[in-house]
Chains A and B, each alone.
Chain A
Amino acid sequence: MIAFTVVTFVAAFLAAAALPAVTADARPDLPAVLVSRQLAAHAGLRTGDTVTLALDATGSGAMRFRVGGAYEPTPDPMRFTARRLEARMHLPDLNAITASPSDPGSVESVKAVNVRLADPNDAAAFASALAARAPGIFARPTARTRDGPDPFVVLERFHLAVATVTVLGSTAFLLALMTMRAEERRETVGIIRLIGVSQRSILMGVLVEGLLIATSGAVFGILVAVAAQGAINRFFQWRYDTALVFVRVTMSIALRSIMLSVPLGIVAGLVGAWTLLRRDLPALIRR
């Protein structure tokens, strides 16, 4: 069963249209229009105001509407830098404004039709069949493919590359710190070896200690990321006046971070311990 959406929205000509905000009494006989939050703030509009919408600044096709309310536009990551000065109205009202007297078909013209299929898996086949039956029609599924020309796939690869480089750099530092830490314990380890504790036991101790420190560090890192997520989102939402979420630390991302950082931390600790345990006893306890 195919359901057609009957409400569409206007963006382009609204920027050129005159929108006098007349704070007159509410005119229930006028058709209603919803304005975006940004447009309401920009033009000083309130619910009940009467506005005039036209195709251009000269006022062609002008019609008066009653502001029925304000809405938050669905955030669009492809247009997050654009000012969302938009309005929504019923399709017959939009067609009445944009209709051309010389083109009778313009009263029934739309730019896009949204279709919901009974079986979403038929999207590709349906799009192909529709394009074949109606020349000049572009039909495509709304679901994004994970490969092919997608800017967000490219950005994901970029961020992954940056994260990989960061992990490599921090691993080098981690190894340096663990080596220094192991060197600090040289005498202590020598004395423990002297009193009979085996290398295996010392290694297990280092392993458990490394696991605790790495896990604590990973959890702390996740908490810092969550805090930074809030700050970054608030900043960019303020900067671009949008409700778009720019950073989101999901459970999957947190688990992946922990699964990468904990083994790295343990391995770094073991490498540091190995530099110590490979030495013979006199070298450990030398002063």
Chain B
Amino acid sequence: MNAWALARRTVAHNPARAVLAVTGVGVIGALLFNMLLLSRGLLVSFRDLLDTAGYDVRVLAAQGSMVHREPIAGATALANAIGQLPAVERVALVRTDSAVATVPGRQTRGVTVTLVGSTENAIGGVWDIVKGSSLPLVSPAGSPPPLIVSTGMASQLQLEPGASLQIRVTLPGVASALPAIDCRIVGIGHFTFESSDEYTVATTMEGFAAVHGAEDRDSADLVLVASRSDAGPSAAAAAIALLRTDLRVYSNDQVLEQFNQNAFSYFRQISAILSSMTLAFAFLLVATLLTMSVNQRLGEVAALRALGFPRRRIAANLLCESALLVGTGGIAALPLGGVLAVALDRILRGMPGVPARLHFFVFEPRTVLLYAALLGATGVLAALYPIWLAARLPIAATLRREIIS
């Protein structure tokens, strides 16, 4: 009988204990798996969001941070200049502001929305149209500004393409209020960066200026650039940076790095701490379980040694036992970890301002490999002390003690 067969028989000899141990390893393993998913989940998900938007370079004013930025003056000329660069394929200007949207004829209070003005009107960009049409390239003079509302807002307010919506921009820090402007919904869409606690409404740049009192400031909060596939975002970013030195130019990789260093660092570090504690916990418990198991079978081990079993064989037997418990529990932990990841992800996505499409727990094959390696190493380390106990026990004295007791 080889070491594996002996280990299987030893574990099966006490099924209740084995089931409890495997359950414990499974639950702790699920937690470890989740923490490893969390360590890179936000990064992977955010990268997917950025890449889905279709642009790989972002241009901001030098003043301010990635989130709160000063407007870029001379935006139209800047967009034209960027569009003529050989490394650039497409350019879009974006302006954002807070507004209140109300449905004409209804007595209900308005909803606060993020109003996005953009030269972007192509499908598959910052938003995907699911109903109606995209923003028109040119709006007839005197016509109400066209809007695209999010699916959540359309569902909440029962809006359809063709319906009217009044938009009133809120201007913090100014002792005045702009009147509400009648607009027309042309489409309903999914917005890539919309969070679950706020609605997004997109319009043309002309529409954005109209709701601001027809003031055409020729500025933009953000310039989105798509590079040519043969040039790449780095070349495009470098060329844009030479155009205007008062601007900050970021490729998607650089944006990710910024968020990774700042906004995401808390989750990365909490993941590292909880992973370490989970591994320490698993090591402690598996080592305790195996040690108690060896202590209960000292006579059996001494008898095997007396029969001629080498220390190596005894150690292999205990190692197989550890591998069996940790391995079975570790495999059971994967589906359990998946269910737990869905639950924890749902909790964390309840944070205000988090895009609804962003996920904290993202599956990657490398995570499974890392998880298996860590759990495997823990199982081996946890077996070292019981192996040492079994290998160094005095055979004759142990057998004598067993007979006397």
Measured CB to CB, the residues of A under 8 A from B are 12-13, 16, 56, 80-82, 109, 111, 134-136, 138, 149-151, 154-155, 157-158, 161-162, 165-166, 168-170, 172-173, 175-177, 179-181, 183-184, 232, 236, 239, 275
Contact = CB atoms under 8 A, between A and B. Distances in A.
A165 B31 contact: yes
Given A150-B352, A169-B27, A170-B281, A176 B176 contact: no
A170 B347 contact: no
Contacts of B20: 172-173, 175-176, 179
A232 B176 CA distance: 48
Contact of B177 (A13, A111, A136): A136
A232 B174 CA distance: 44
Contacts of A161: 343-344, 347
Interface of B: 14, 16-17, 20-21, 23-24, 26-28, 30-31, 62-64, 170-177, 197, 261-263, 265-266, 269, 273-274, 278, 281, 285, 288-289, 292-293, 295-296, 340, 343-344, 347-348, 350-352
Contact of B176 (A136, A149, A150, A169): A136
Nearest to A180: B292
A162 B274 contact: yes
B24 A169 contact: yes
Contact of A184 (B14, B296, B343): B296
7 contacts: A136-B172, A158-B344, A161-B347, A169-B26, A180-B292, A184-B296, A232-B273
A82 B258 CA distance: 12
A239 B270 CA distance: 13
Contacts of A168: 27
A136 B289 contact: no
A11 to B, nearest CB: 10
A175 B289 CA distance: 11
A162 B344 contact: yes
B17 A12 contact: no
Contacts of B278: 166
Contacts of A138: 172
A173 B350 contact: no
Nearest to A110: B173
A109 B174 CA distance: 10
A109 B197 CA distance: 31
Contacts of B263: 81
Nearest to B20: A176
Contacts of A169: 24, 26-28, 31, 281
